[in-house]
Each structure stands twice: as C-alpha cells, then as structure tokens.
Amino acid sequence: MVFEKCPNAEHGAEVREFRTIDIVKRLGVISPNHIHLKNYPIPNPVSAFNASCLVDSSTGTVYVYARIIIGYYMYVSAIALLEIPIDDILSGAVSFCHYPAAIVLYPSVRYDIWGTEDPRVQEIDGRVYMLYAGRTISYFNPAVRRERTLPIVVLCQESRRCLKIGAIVMRRGLRELTISDKDAVLLDVGDPEWIYVLHRPHLMNERHYLTASIIPKKMLEPGECVREIEVQNTKVVLEPAKFELKLGWATPPVQTGPNEYLVLIHGVDKDIECYRAFAALLRYDKDVGLRAVAVTPCYILEPRMMYEVYGDRPFVVFPCGMCRIGKSELLVVYGAADYVIGFGLINLDDLMALLDKGRLE
C-alpha cells in the first residue's frame, strides 16, 4: 500500500453508480473570440477553458481566472483574468458579450516553464490564493518521467499582481516515484499551524490517487524565490468507482457547516474517458482527521450541450471554480471540451438532498 486511506475511502466508491442526475442549470458560455487580451499583441486566445472564480458581492463582480492558449504548437497555457458583472452571468448575457482580459500568470520558472494550467482560486484568512498545475522543465523530456507537472501556490495581490510562492512536492521516497501531481486546492480547517492540500499524485505504478496532505501555514508566506513545499501525512480520501479510471479534485471547498466542506470531484470513465463531476461532503474532526461523510450516488454534471461534447477534447466538463451566491445557490465555472468557459448554477438544497442519499456515516 502506497498511502494510508482515510475512513470511508472505499465505501465512497461502493455507493456510487454509473449514472447522472444533472442538476446544473447552464447559464451561458464565453468563447475565446469574445475575450480580448489587453496586455498581449495577439488580440484573442485560440481557446479559453478550465476557469476558476471569486465573487465580490459588494460590487456584483465575478473575477474569472481562465486557462488560455494562444497557439497550438506546444499548447503552452497562461492564466488570464476577466471581470464579469454577475448579472451578465445570471441573465445569460455572458454568452453574447465581449470582455477585456489581462494575462496575470505565465510560464517563468522551471516548475511551470511549459505551461500554467487549470487555476483554482480561493480566499483564506483574508488573502486570495491560487493553485495551478505547472508543466515543469521535464514535461516534454522523454528521458525524464518524473515530476512532469506540479501544483504551484500563488498569492494574488492587489493590482492583479500574482506572486508565485512555491511548488508542492511529495516527501522523499515518494517524490522519485511521482510522474505528475495536479488538481490541487487548499482546505483550511482552522488550525493555526498547518493547512490541508488536496491534490492528485500520479505515481510510477500508473495509479492516480485522490489525496489530502498537510503543509505548514508559514509556507504560504511569500519568499525571495519560488521554493519547494514538501507535503506530509498524505492519505487517500476517496477511491475511484469500479467504472472509473481516475478521480481529480475539481473545485475549492465551500464550507456548509461546522467542520464540513463541500467539493466537486471529476471522474473519468473507462469507456470513452468522458469527464463528469460529482459532489462530496468532507468533514474534519481533530480525533479522526479528514474524511468524506457523503457523496452524491450519481454524477451531477456531464457533457450534454454541444460545446461540452465537442471541442479540443470531446466530452469534458471540468469544474475549477465554485462560489456561493446568496444562501441557496452555487455558481460553478468550468471548462467545456477544453475550448470554452461554461457557467452553471446549482441549487444547494437539491445538492444536499442528493448527498443525503449517499451518506457514508
């Protein structure tokens, strides 16, 4: 056994079925030709997808951090920031409007020189952090099958300045066996000394593990350079179901109660490798630790619109952002078929009702 398992890791796989009750109301989509880059000589990206979000309720603005591609030669990604009125999204006007965008992150260090991918943004202790998947210097090197992607931690400051803090790496002994690590978000359970990192390492045994590790909170402070942040106490939170190749963390957690956190997780099926999403409720107790206490017994989001079914990578819905809108709704931002940015709305009561059917304890 490579990793210890959290309680309910296997039970969560057993209660899930290969079916979908799609409860995500589609609100609209932003295509790349509706995005206008302000700080780059090419006016539009050729694709924009896998976006995350923050909502400023005081101004009614949704800050969308999107993965963009400006050329297909090496498929190198950057991250651009769009500021969108929430009324545009909720009304559906987002599909027809045009928006300025600024590239705020791009390849610059050995940990991301071949691409900055799939951002997840979240607010912790009054600060905005982003985790993204960095394509490392080894990504295209056929002689090096190690650490081809790593999660990178970023502090998003005022004036759109994004400061790269560190690259998350496995502990010694496992690091040498890690092909890639991605799909990472932070989970703060209130401990003053440490914080969870939810991430998905892919090891030399060709298995992908949906894990939770811890790092010291002090490692989230900016330093003079991008440093390596070694994780500890890595445990598997959920196993894939029998019909899945792998799982990956999709969205940053949304707290729904004392010590309970709602996350979306993507699953890839064994048939056509379609990306779908389901939800899980995580709980932290000091004596037990972190574990899943409920999962939706079915997927809640799957490709069904044409822009989700057909694109650069067919049959993909890839949520990276989820924020609460009011008391009873969740805004979900996702990549559709690796080409456009989709927006959806989830009724929280409907989602919790599904989670009640998949209680693990």
Assign 327 a pLDDT band (cuts: 50, 70, 90): confident
Assign 158 a pLDDT band (cuts: 50, 70, 90): confident
Mean pLDDT, the chain, as a whole number?
A: 97
The pLDDT tens digits for 24-65 are 999 999 999 999 999 999 999 999 999 999 999 999 999 999
pLDDT, average across residues 283-290: 95
How far apart, in whole angstroms, are the C-alpha atoms of residue 327 and residue 97? Answer: 28
pLDDT reported for residue 162: 94
Domain that residue 118 falls in? 4-356
Q: Kindly give the pairing relationship between strand 61-69 and strand 77-85.
A: antiparallel
Is residue 348 situated within a structural domain? yes
The total number of structural domains in the chain stands at 1
Q: What one-letter code names the amino acid at 79?
A: I
How many CB atoms within 10 Å of residue 127?
A: 12
Assign 2 a pLDDT band (cuts: 50, 70, 90): confident
Is residue 116 situated within a structural domain? yes
Assign 307 a pLDDT band (cuts: 50, 70, 90): very high
pLDDT reported for residue 286: 92
pLDDT, average across residues 241-263: 97
Contacts of 189 (CB under 8 A, 6+ apart): 195, 196, 259, 284, 290
Is residue 361 situated within a structural domain? no
The pLDDT tens digits for 107-140 are 999 999 999 999 999 999 999 999 999 999 999 9
C-alpha distances (whole Å) from 329 to each of 22, 254, 351 are: 15, 12, 10
Q: Tell me, what CATH number does 57's domain have?
A: 2.115.10.20
Q: Report the percent of the chain where pLDDT is more than 70.
A: 99
pLDDT reported for residue 1: 67
How far apart, in whole angstroms, are the C-alpha atoms of residue 66 and residue 50? Answer: 6
Is residue 127 situated within a structural domain? yes
pLDDT, average across residues 92-102: 98
The pLDDT tens digits for 174-222 are 999 999 999 999 999 999 999 999 999 999 999 999 999 999 999 999 9
Sign of CA pseudo-dihedral 313, 339, 134, 188: negative
Assign 233 a pLDDT band (cuts: 50, 70, 90): very high
What's the pTM value of the predicted model, to 2 decimals? 0.97
Assign 160 a pLDDT band (cuts: 50, 70, 90): confident
Residue 90, helix vs strand vs coil = helix
pLDDT reported for residue 326: 87
Is 239 a residue whose pLDDT tops 80? Answer: yes
Is residue 252 situated within a structural domain? yes
Q: If we measure between CA atoms, which residue out of 270, 264, 208, 279 comes closest to residue 239? A: 208
pLDDT reported for residue 357: 98
Is residue 32 situated within a structural domain? yes
